Structure 1
Amino acid sequence: MADFLLIHGAGHAAWVWDGVKGILEDDLRKQSSLYHTRYTAGKVLAPDLPGHGEKFYEDDPTHITFETCIEKLLKTIDTNKLKYPIIGAHSLSGLMGLELARRLVEKGNPPSAIVLVGAVVPDVFRNVMEMLPPPTRIALSVLRLMPGTPPESVKLHRELGLKLLCSDMRYAEASSQVLGRLHPIPLKPWDALPNPEALEPTCPVTYMLLKRDWFITSSSQKHMASNLKNATLIELDCGHEAPITTPQSVASALLQYAGPKEI
């Protein structure tokens, strides 16, 4: 059975993967010899990154870095004994997923595959934030100067979040599922430059391009997908929050790699 490690993006938390996680767990449950709602032979984990989710008020954003996030993900994999995990990464966590895959290869536990959902894949000499489309970068720069913003953070204005993140969602849906759950974005985890080896993963990669995404435009996504050699490109007619709005499509992309693996 397959193990899955799902990484959320900036300002989000594990909740963005809830729908996908349920579908994956149900698929594993149905394939298990012991058919029980609380038992699966594989594991599906979607941890909160440092400074996100329940840890937002506990972790100092000035001390949260790309490396602390990678260490948290590696610890999650080791503690839960995930074997050859399938990695899913959404939004700004694209580079994080690729670097995690590189580290797992070094540890002798290579991932089975990586699925990037509207995710940032930087050019070699650019960091994650520098890869965002100019309008998005400008908006975030202005918001960072707003009164009440925590240090080394940026808080996404509700109406801007509705336009950029929830372009395909009705307001009531967007408010309850996304906007009301966002928190200020710690900036340091997204300023690391990529290790060139991380941009050449040794496992299969699928890039899911979100055609109605205004936070990371489809043209930007297409360019970033081209940074990965031999990546399979899938286009979805949805906005930025694909794991929430189209969980079955995202889960299907992950499940295609869930067959037996020989090393």
Structure 2
Amino acid sequence: MTDTALRPTLLLVHGSWHGAWCWEKVTPVLEADGWPTRAIDLPSAGSRADMQDDARAILRELENIDGPVVVVAHSYGGIPVSQAVAEARNVSHIVFLAAFQLDVDESLLGFLAEPVPPSQDGLDAVPENPVALFYGDVPAADAEAAVERLVPQSAKANSDALTAAGWHTVPSTYILCEDDQALPAPTQQALAARSGAVHRIASGHSPFLSKPAELAALLARIALARAGESDG
């Protein structure tokens, strides 16, 4: 039997415009299977906080967790997670879910070769047609409910460059979302080359809403492998 007491906590970190709420369909599945979970709200969603503010919030959350942690970062969340994990002492693994696995001196806008706006003091509005961008394979009612919860995102967070990248010292796995309209699969493939292992899921950008059971099972398999557990 698997000893659930030895399992790491899964810390779930959302991407731009979102919040901890986006994991609400995944956490019950994980917890029913014996996985302790935490989900954090990043300050850059809905305020002018920058990437380093997000990293500090993640680090504080990690410091409040006893025992090992597997951090799951979605989309933009991969950037402050990489920054925070470089200082953390209890992270055993990072899972990048359709996420920006950036290196030192890289920023989101820089990696995408997009210009930095003249002013970074404002907020980036929720993108037009977010259903097609984020939730194309999510049930319509769930997609509409998710759109209602999106908030503007700090502009500065997208141009802040990493000063440290924790995935250089902490093992990482990339989950590539094959039908992603927000972060296309070829871009994810380039990022995934930085991880030690790569898994694929046939989903859009938000498998936590479109395929929560499948995503939870995949996260559990990755975390079990890291914990050295077996089902026997």
TM-score bracket, shorter-length normalisation? 0.7 to 0.9
Structural mapping, 1:1-263, within 5 Å: 1=5, 2-28=8-34, 43-52=36-45, 56=46, 60-61=47-48, 64-79=49-64, 81-105=65-89, 109=90, 111-132=91-112, 151-159=121-129, 161-176=130-145, 178-195=146-163, 197-203=165-171, 205-228=172-195, 231-256=196-221, 257-258=223-224, 261=227
Query: Residue 92 of structure 1 aligns to which amino acid in structure 2?
Result: Y
The one-character-per-residue Cα deviations of 1:136-159 (angstroms, maximum 9, x if unpaired) are x58x97xx99xxxx9521112442
Distance 1:197 1:260 in 2: 20
Query: Residue 19 of structure 2 aligns to which amino acid in structure 1?
Result: A
Distance 2:104 2:226 in 1: 33
Distance 2:36 2:170 in 1: 22
CA positional deviation for 1:23: 1.2
Of residues 249-258 and 83-92 in structure 1, the stretch that sits farther from structure 2 once superposed is: 249-258
State whether residues 44 and 50 of structure 2, in contact with CA within 8 Å, keep that contact through their aligned partners in structure 1. no
Question: Any stretches of 5+ residues in structure 1 without a counterpart?
Answer: 29-41
State whether residues 6 and 89 of structure 1, in contact with CA within 8 Å, keep that contact through their aligned partners in structure 2. yes
What is the TM-score when the length of structure 1 is the normalising length? 0.74
Q: Secondary structure at the match of 1:12?
A: coil
Question: Any stretches of 5+ residues in structure 2 without a counterpart?
Answer: none
What is the TM-score when the length of structure 2 is the normalising length? 0.83
Distance 1:20 1:120 in 2: 21
Query: Residue 79 of structure 2 aligns to which amino acid in structure 1?
Result: L
State whether residues 98 and 201 of structure 1, in contact with CA within 8 Å, keep that contact through their aligned partners in structure 2. no
- Which of the pair has more CA radius of gyration? 1
**Which is richer in helix?**
1
RMSD: 2.8
**Which is richer in strand?**
2
Q: Secondary structure at the match of 1:46?
A: strand
CA positional deviation for 1:212: 0.9
